């Protein structure tokens, strides 16, 4: 069978052991190819049912009694399910707040813990919001810290030497995205964590682009802290609650800067003096958004059933396939690869670059451009991110998306679209 034909993709799909999961997601447009699960995951059918149940039964009928019938423990219960996906113990993870807020809490706690050390190290490929938060923390601590960003030489990855050069004995905290949002570059978590520890720095990983997509080994890497979101590969829905991880032996030694009643030892005692709860619970602040919290469980169950190693194996196989199609069909049309070639250095999305990337994306998303509507996303200045979400991406999706990109580029169909950027790209 010829590799570059649709029939080959169909054959690959029929041999895919995880293909049955695709049917478990809401799909009301048979012509839609969704390649943006790295930004917002699709809606599992079971989640819609689950939320309906939480609304009508738990909230509607049981009302406030449900706090004693599962809501109070839910942050911990869901986190315990998430823990194996990130190589952590159930009592080292908690669902809480947003990724940004969790970064703030843990980075603040680390800077307090490392009093006297004056540097925070990150890299220039990190998600800008993470950098803004660190800049804000520098201000909050009275401009006593220096924020050092490791540079990328190819706009794609960061060498370990570059990190090492920034890590001096004065470093309080190294914080990085495990998988970079734009290029998909992935760090060797253990190697980098060891390096930072040797310099006396604590390490905080942002797992937003790796959780549910690649097996993460926080315990094996001896990582100190981690944060991440649940609306990408974990399919928790727009703005769904985030999670945080603090290694067991650090939990009682770090102090959250936000002392709310859900992080208090016995909140219903209503005493006026704050006493932190035992363990990971102390990193909670206020009442968790129960609807959002409940929305995460059905997709987590699917991931656990599929197995993160199997998901990674399929993601790698699909990325390999995508890159081969890219080399054959798109490279000759002026596209370049915006993601690392080496598999161990790449997460689960593949970025491709083109000077007309923005308008190509617009053309792909437009339902009238071709026979299929393809949804990837655009990241400045010239990246089209093609997200592979092995629970529901098929080989045919990949083949047809590449064909659509080829057609748009060959026929310059992007010329029909405005260069004016929308608010959300
Ligand atoms: C890597 C990374 N970190 C942090 C954030 C910010 O997350 P939130 O807006 O949910 O706080 C995002 C959002 O996409 C992200 O991709």
Percent of the chain beyond pLDDT 90?
A: 97
The domain of 125 spans 48-304
Residue 98 Cα, ligand 1 centroid: separation in angstroms?
8
61 with 30, same domain?
no
Instruction: Please report, for the domain that includes residue 212, its CATH number.
Output: 3.40.640.10
Q: Mean per-residue pLDDT for 367-378?
A: 93
pLDDT level of residue 19 (50, 70, 90 thresholds): very high
Q: Is the pTM here over 0.85, yes or no?
A: yes
Residue 208 Cα, ligand 1 centroid: separation in angstroms?
7
228 with 282, same domain?
yes
* For ligand 1, mutation pick of 134, 185, 211, 229 (most atoms within 8 Å of CB): 229
- Work out which ligand 1 atom sits closest to the CA atom of 232: 14
**Does an H or E element contain 32, and which?**
strand 32-34
Rounded to a whole number of angstroms, the distance between the first and last alpha carbons of the chain is 38
114 with 212, same domain?
yes
23 with 93, same domain?
no
324 to 291, 350, 359: CA distances (angstroms): 42, 12, 24
Are 186 and 346 in contact, with CB atoms under 8 Å apart?
yes
**What pLDDT is stored for residue 174 in this prediction?**
98
86 with 165, same domain?
yes
90 to 21, 82, 210, 343: CA distances (angstroms): 26, 8, 18, 29
**Catalytic residue ranges:** 127, 206, 231-232, 385
Q: Which residues have CB under 6 Å of ligand 1?
A: 98-100, 127, 129-130, 177, 181, 206, 208-209, 229, 242
Residue 101 Cα, ligand 1 centroid: separation in angstroms?
10
Are 134 and 196 in contact, with CB atoms under 8 Å apart?
no
pLDDT at residue 158 is higher than 80: yes
Instruction: Please report, for the domain that includes residue 338, its CATH number.
Output: 3.90.1150.10
Rg (CA), the chain: 22
**Chosen domain end from 304, 319, 335:** 304
- Work out which ligand 1 atom sits closest to the CA atom of 208: 1
Kindly state the tokens that stand for 345.
């250095």
pLDDT at residue 263 is higher than 90: yes
**What pLDDT is stored for residue 423 in this prediction?**
85
**Chosen domain end from 287, 304, 321:** 304
Residue 238 Cα, ligand 1 centroid: separation in angstroms?
12
335 with 250, same domain?
no
296 with 351, same domain?
no
**What pLDDT is stored for residue 424 in this prediction?**
85
- Work out which ligand 1 atom sits closest to the CA atom of 239: 10
pLDDT at residue 80 is higher than 90: yes
């Amino acid at each position: 069978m010829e590799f570059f034909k649709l029939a080959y993709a169909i054959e690959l799909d029929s041999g895919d052991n995880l293909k049955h999961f695709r049917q478990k997601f809401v799909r009301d447009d048979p012509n839609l190819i969704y390649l943006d699960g790295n930004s917002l995951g699709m809606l599992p059918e079971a989640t819609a049912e689950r939320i309906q149940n939480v609304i009508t039964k738990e909230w509607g009928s049981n009302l406030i009694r449900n706090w004693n019938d599962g809501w109070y423990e839910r942050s911990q219960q869901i986190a315990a399910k998430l823990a194996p996906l990130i190589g952590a113990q159930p009592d080292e993870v908690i669902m809480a707040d947003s990724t940004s807020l969790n970064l703030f809490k843990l980075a603040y706690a680390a800077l307090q813990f490392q009093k006297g050390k004056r540097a925070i190290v990150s890299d220039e490929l990190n998600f800008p919001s993470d950098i803004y938060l660190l800049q804000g923390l520098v201000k909050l601590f009275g401009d006593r810290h220096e924020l050092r960003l490791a540079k990328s030489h190819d706009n794609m990855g960061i060498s370990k030497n570059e990190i090492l050069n920034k890590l001096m004995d004065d470093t309080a905290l190294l914080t990085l995205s495990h998988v970079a949002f734009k290029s998909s570059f992935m760090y060797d978590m253990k190697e980098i964590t060891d390096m930072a520890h040797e310099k006396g720095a604590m390490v905080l990983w942002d797992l937003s682009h790796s959780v549910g997509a690649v097996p993460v080994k926080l315990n094996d890497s001896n990582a100190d802290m981690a944060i991440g979101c649940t609306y990408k590969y974990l399919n928790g829905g727009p703005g769904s609650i985030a999670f945080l991880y603090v290694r067991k032996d650090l939990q009682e030694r770090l102090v959250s800067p936000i002392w709310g009643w859900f992080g208090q030892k016995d909140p219903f005692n209503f005493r006026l003096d704050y006493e932190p709860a035992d363990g990971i619970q102390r990193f909670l602040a206020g009442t968790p958004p129960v609807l959002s919290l409940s929305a995460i469980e059905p997709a987590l169950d699917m991931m656990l059933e599929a197995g993160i190693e199997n998901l990674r194996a399929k993601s790698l196989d699909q990325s390999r396939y995508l890159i081969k199609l890219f080399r054959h069909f798109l490279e000759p049309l002026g596209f370049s690869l915006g993601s690392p070639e080496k598999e161990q250095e790449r997460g689960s999305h593949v970025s491709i670059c083109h000077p007309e990337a923005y308008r190509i994306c617009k053309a792909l998303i437009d339902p009238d451009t071709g026979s299929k509507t393809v949804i990837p996303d655009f990241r400045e200045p010239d990246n089209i991110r093609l997200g592979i979400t092995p629970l529901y991406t098929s080989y045919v999706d990949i083949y047809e998306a590449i064909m659509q990109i080829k057609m748009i580029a060959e026929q310059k169909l992007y010329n029909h679209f405005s260069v004016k950027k929308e608010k959300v790209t």
